[in-house]
């Protein structure tokens, strides 16, 4: 968005300068002004995520901590209006990021149980209900070529700390590195919803 605004500014300024230039004699120099404007044209796009390697534990830590902190918004269709679509609502950041971070055919192992992509999403949503980012600590783990991290935090409404170890397999899809398999090791109740 910033780059788009800067390019608009550059275009508008260029048009303005060409109009101004025609009003002055040919020997009048505008080079200091045009040199100043050229910096807007080459402005790089902002980077939202760090450039850590997909094989590093930091990469996995960034994805998991961002995903667990993302709001999940889900609405059930009201029964009194079957077949009606309502206008756009709030953006479900959790589902959007989950789709962007994982491959289309992602699988996982959650507390020793194999799951498909939907099962993996459900386990991460259950973990999110217990997540407290303020108390979370991450520690890199050695898992060979695969990124692995252990994180510990004090769950909501709990006194004891919980721990989960995450190991991922990464594959490129859609021009970006994505998680194709995620193993989450921890207590089973961390990955199950206790509330409806």
Q: What is the domain partition of the chain in residue ranges?
A: 2-41, 57-73+90-191
Instruction: Answer with the residue of higher pLDDT: 1 or 100.
Output: 100
Whether 106 contacts 180, CB under 8 Å: yes
Instruction: Answer with the residue of higher pLDDT: 72 or 151.
Output: 151
Q: From residue 12, give the alpha-carbon distance in Å to each of 6, 9, 36, 46, 65.
A: 10, 5, 14, 22, 41
Q: What is the mean pLDDT of the chain?
A: 78
What class does CATH assign to 57-73+90-191? Answer: alpha beta
- Least confident residue range of 14-23, 61-70, 100-109, 130-139: 14-23
- Note the pLDDT of residue 68: 93
Three-state DSSP at 153 gives strand
Q: How does residue 150 score in pLDDT terms, banded at 50, 70 and 90? A: very high
- Least confident residue range of 14-18, 43-47, 108-112: 43-47
The answer on pLDDT for 7 being more than 80 is no
Instruction: Answer with the residue of higher pLDDT: 24 or 133.
Output: 133
Q: Against a cut of 0.75, is the pTM above it?
A: no
The answer on pLDDT for 115 being more than 50 is yes
Q: What mean pLDDT do residues 114-141 have?
A: 94
Distance CA 1, CA 48 (A): 12
By the 10 Å C-beta count (0-12 exposed, 13-18 middle, 19+ buried), 132 is classed as: middle
Paired tokens of 141: 């783990």
Distance CA 15, CA 78 (A): 53
Distance CA 130, CA 39 (A): 47
> Comparing C-alpha atoms, which of 144, 171, 166 is closest to residue 62?
166
Paired tokens of 193: 């919803």
- Note the pLDDT of residue 195: 58
Distance CA 145, CA 20 (A): 60
- Note the pLDDT of residue 102: 97
């Amino acid at each position: 968005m910033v780059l788009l605004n800067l390019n608009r500014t550059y275009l508008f300024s260029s048009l303005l300068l060409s109009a101004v230039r025609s009003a002055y004699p040919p020997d009048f120099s505008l080079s200091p002004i045009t040199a100043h404007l050229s910096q807007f044209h080459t402005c790089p796009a902002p980077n939202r995520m760090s450039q850590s390697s997909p094989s590093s534990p930091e990469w996995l830590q960034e994805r998991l901590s961002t995903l667990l902190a993302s709001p999940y918004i889900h609405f059930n269709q009201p029964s009194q209006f079957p077949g009606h679509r309502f206008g756009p609502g709030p953006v479900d950041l959790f589902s959007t990021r989950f789709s962007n971070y994982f491959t289309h055919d992602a699988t996982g192992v959650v507390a020793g149980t194999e799951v498909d992509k939907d099962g993996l999403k459900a386990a991460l949503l259950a973990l999110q209900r217990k997540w407290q980012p303020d108390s979370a600590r991450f520690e890199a783990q050695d898992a060979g070529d695969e990124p692995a991290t252990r994180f510990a935090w004090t769950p909501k409404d709990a006194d004891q700390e919980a721990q989960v170890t995450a190991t991922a397999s990464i594959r490129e899809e859609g021009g970006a590195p994505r998680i194709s398999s995620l193993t989450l090791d921890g207590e089973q109740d961390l990955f199950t919803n206790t509330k409806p």
